[in-house]
Chains A and B, each alone.
Chain A
Amino acid sequence: MLAFIAKRTLSVIPVIVVVSIVVFLLLRLSPGDPAVIIAGDNADAATIERIRSALGLGQPLVTQFFIWAGSLLQGDLGISIFSNIPVTDLILQRIEPTASLALTTLVFAILIAVPLGTIAGATAGSWLDRSLMLVSVLGFSIPVFVLGYCLIYFFSLQLRVLPVQGFSSIREGVGPFLSSIALPTMTLGLAYLVLIARITRASVLEMMGEDFIRTARAKGVKERVVVTRHALRNSAIPILTVIGIGVALLISGVVVIETVFNIPGVGRLVVDAILKRDYPVIQGVILLFSGIYVLVNLAIDIGYAFLDPRVRY
């Protein structure tokens, strides 16, 4: 197992290298020029050229790549073209809100979805099962920004119990933190919640028809134990898989949620950078996202082995 973990960890490196080359080339070959954006509407060609030269954008593409890659190997992601702040600092400034949102969303979704899906699967055809199916259709159908605005209207403008926007760090107190993260978590979490709940339901339902369940019941095991210890445990692998896939959904969803709730996270950082062609920031954040995605998948693979002793690498 240790060899597997080491091998998978090392396999992250070529993925990151390929991602970095693709991102670098995509950005440089796509239209748009940060020097022109900085220079503004009133700049003449000479001014634009002087700015481009000062930013090092006049050098050949290969030279630019090796300068960037060399810095990357030393842990230096470069400096933002616009704010003049190191990209690492910008990411560190923004990582807490994004990580908090992702984590609370995961916890919120899993804590509600797994029990709900399990009960629905174990009581297929009941009112609870049908209700869950209805909510899941709604959850998939409502765009997150629409749900976000609805929640803001109800909780912030009508009841005035939660803030409209912004983020309070957990260092400023658990109360303010939870208050600021509640609506974004609910908004982002709904689609994720129904996805996990549906997979859990389907998986548990499938298990409930298996021979070992019938055997357990024949032995007089209580229904609650049959469902939780036998059916749910054997359904864990598909649930874990969908949680892993959901991380990609979370990464894309975070961008929208951070905009709607004005959360200063990494998602907004990269969108702003793309619009302005702030190359070092885009490259840094995409590398970060790629690394996280690869590591999450690694964690899921390791999780399989713990959940199912038959799985060995």
Chain B
Amino acid sequence: MFKQMKASLLASAFLLSCIGAASAESTLKLVPSADLQVLDPMGSTADIVKMHGFMIYDTLYSLDEHFVPQPQMVQDMTLSDDKKTYRFTLRDGLKWHDGQSVKAEDCVASLKRWQARDAAGQLMARQLKEMRVVDDRTFELEFGEPYGIVLESLSKVASNIPFMMPKRIAETDPFKEISEYIGSGPYKFAKDKWVPGSKVVYEKFADYVPRSEPASAFAGGKVAQFDTVEWDIIKDQQTALSALMSGEIDFWQSPSLDLLPVIEAAGNLKTKVVNETGTQGTLFFNHTQPPFDNPKARQAMFYLTNQQTYLQAVNGNPDYYRTCASFFICGSPMETEVGLDALKAPDPQKAKALFEEAGWDFSKPIVILDPTDESIVHPETVVTVQALRDIGLNVDVQAMDWATVLKRRNSKEPADKGGWNLLHSYVGGQVVSNPVWSITFSAACEKGIFGWPCDQALEDLRLKFALADGQEARKTVAAEYSTRAFEMGHHVPLGQWNTFVAFSDKVSDVLVTQDVPVFWNLKKSN
């Protein structure tokens, strides 16, 4: 009898220990800023797709928190004496999530797909003479002339990002979505657990070999500390706050600034700014329609812009915003105020005079698209409308939803026939950290950004930036770009602001990335 009891107790203890071991599986639960709908990193430039990309894919080079490219999948890089050929050797032991080894041919195929979709990739492709596989771990990029931003392009954090994927997947038409989501990053995508609009689950990739260097933003050793990372899509701010306070989630990517006092008072929560450069507000012109087909009218808007007013309307907390008289986000290496004195000293009367010089009839309406469902663009619009009315201009504010703005902004019709004159937006700091990462800075007429700015000098400067050798040379070109961009009135930067992440006080080691948060390295205590 006693022996039987003893055996039962031992068996129970063993079972309990098994259950204990099972429940010891570590999970990080977080609320991202948006729902993940597109899984192909070339399929969308949305931040949430970028975050997904960094969970499951790896990059050849990665940007550290000082905006410096560092090798990630690459072990060695050599540059030929004529500075035209880059030879990359991959790290030993890299594996895809399906168990296959990462090969040079996979990387070449991935770069080709990226070059078809990304502005910087397209620029690189135009300068490339050949991309060739040398052996399983080595490949080369040969350029027609020295190209200055190879490593910067390979490590760029502004979407689209050159994530590496197996050759068979990378050979998918770049304009069609891939159907397998296999990377070589620290976490695997658990497709069977994905509920679009509700939950995204990632599982630790056991074969991932982190670099030995300490993690710094997207660079260094990516150590996956959790068996599972679960993204819970909670769209309601109040619900997300309650879930964080009650311990149902560990990390919240994008709390509203209004909730900061509540979070700070909660006692068991912490906050951090992971993107210290932040986001930049922008005012775009339709360069093809009067009055903004005239550079004087466009320059007038620089003199009319009081960044402080925009930032108060959009953000409202001086600890989280700053004025920045630079096209390239302040805090990044290319920050420059050259040519932008107008932004530092707003002068509405000067703006009015420039509109008059442009020959604009003040009784004619200026059409502004106002997405009332967009919490940043709408207040930006309200500020501009008031500034225009204050100098006697007639403004036609057309209210609509954001999806309609996205469609309408492609209209080249006259403003009174379904077109537009002005619209606002905002861009992540990485996107506007230099003149080539995005078509925001393009001036390629019909082939460029909506609003169709058209200026060969600016396009030449973008290419000159890409070809410049070294950071100092690039800074000089960025200043030239800034001067020219004001002269032709490309677009108006409206200042920049930060957001913060909130997390349980059990979470530690959250990395500053100067962009979206990443979920390697950080830890959670019990």
Contacts and interface: CB of A to CB of B under 8 A. Distances in A.
Given A38-B44, A83-B196, A272-B197, A31 B38 contact: no
A47 interface: yes
B446 A275 contact: no
Interface stretch (B68-76, B203-211, B404-412): B404-412
Contacts of B35: 272
Nearest to A163: B248
A31 B159 contact: no
B240 to A, nearest CB: 8
Given A32-B407, A165-B239, A38 B119 contact: no
A36 interface: yes
B471 interface: no
Interface stretch (B98-106, B174-182, B517-525): B174-182
A83 B38 contact: yes
- Residue of B45, B175, B245 with most partner-chain A CB within 10 A: B175
Contact of B197 (A36, A37, A268): A268
Contacts of A50: 175
A260 B439 CA distance: 38
Contacts of B357: none
B199 interface: yes
A37 B242 contact: no
- Residue of A43, A46, A259 with most partner-chain B CB within 10 A: A43
B117 A47 contact: yes
B159 A40 contact: yes
B37 interface: yes
Interface string B443-472: 010111100000000000000000000000
Interface stretch (A63-71, A152-160, A213-221, A238-246): A152-160
Q: Is the interface on chain A under 10, 10 to 19, 20 to 34, or 35 or more residues? A: 35 or more
Contacts of A90: 196
Contacts of A152: 239, 242
Contacts of A51: 175
Interface stretch (B20-28, B84-92, B229-237, B387-395): B229-237
A19 B407 CA distance: 26
Given A40-B45, A262-B243, A80 B410 contact: no
Contacts of B38: 38, 82-83
Interface string B263-295: 000000000000000000000000000000000
A164 B242 contact: yes
B438 A166 contact: no
Contact of B179 (A31, A42, A84): A84
Contacts of A147: none
B9 interface: no
Contacts of A276: 37, 403
A274 B316 CA distance: 30
B171 interface: no
Contacts of A40: 44-46, 159
Given A152-B242, A260-B236, A264-B199, A31 B177 contact: no
Contacts of B248: 163-166
Interface string A71-100: 000000000101111000010011000000
A85 B449 CA distance: 31
A44 B439 contact: yes
B440 A80 contact: no
Contact of B404 (A32, A41, A157): A32
Nearest to B400: A31
Contacts, number: 136
A46 B447 contact: yes
Contact of B403 (A149, A156, A275): A275
B487 to A, nearest CB: 24
Contacts of B386: none
A42 B438 contact: yes
B239 to A, nearest CB: 5
Given A33-B407, A48-B410, A42 B45 contact: yes
A157 B45 contact: no
Nearest to A156: B246
Q: Is the interface on chain B under 10, 10 to 19, 20 to 34, or 35 or more residues? A: 35 or more
A54 interface: yes
A37 B239 contact: no
B328 to A, nearest CB: 16
A74 B465 CA distance: 56
B175 A54 contact: yes
A24 interface: no
B407 A31 contact: yes
A112 interface: no
A16 to B, nearest CB: 25
Interface string A45-58: 11110110010000
B431 interface: yes
B141 interface: no
Contacts of A275: 401, 403
A261 interface: yes
Given A85-B196, A259-B236, A32 B440 contact: no
B80 to A, nearest CB: 32
Nearest to B199: A264
A37 B44 CA distance: 8
- Residue of B37, B232, B404, B442 with most partner-chain A CB within 10 A: B37
Contacts of A85: 196
A269 interface: yes
A156 B439 CA distance: 47
Nearest to A38: B44
A44 to B, nearest CB: 6
A155 to B, nearest CB: 11
A33 B8 CA distance: 66
Contact of A42 (B159, B196, B233): B159
Contact of B235 (A41, A54, A153, A259): A259
A41 B425 contact: yes
B239 A93 contact: no
A277 interface: yes
A37 B37 CA distance: 12
Interface in B209-240: 232-236, 238-239
Interface string A11-31: 000000000000000000001
B403 A262 contact: no
Interface string B170-203: 0001011101000000000000000111110000
Contacts of B404: 31-32
A255 B427 CA distance: 31
A279 to B, nearest CB: 12
A40 B45 CA distance: 5
Given A164-B239, A260-B236, A269 B246 contact: no
A260 B403 contact: no
Interface in A169-217: none
Given A31-B407, A164-B248, A264-B198, A45 B447 contact: yes
Interface of B: 35, 37-39, 43-46, 117, 119, 159, 173, 175-177, 179, 195-199, 232-236, 238-239, 242-243, 245-246, 248, 400-401, 403-404, 406-408, 410, 425, 427, 431, 438-440, 442, 444, 446-449
Q: Can you list the 3 inter-chain pairs with the closest CB atoms, starting with the nearest?
A: A264-B198, A40-B45, A32-B403
Given A42-B438, A45-B447, A84-B179, 13 more contacts: A33-B407, A36-B410, A41-B431, A42-B119, A42-B159, A42-B439, A46-B447, A80-B37, A94-B197, A260-B238, A262-B235, A264-B199, A268-B235
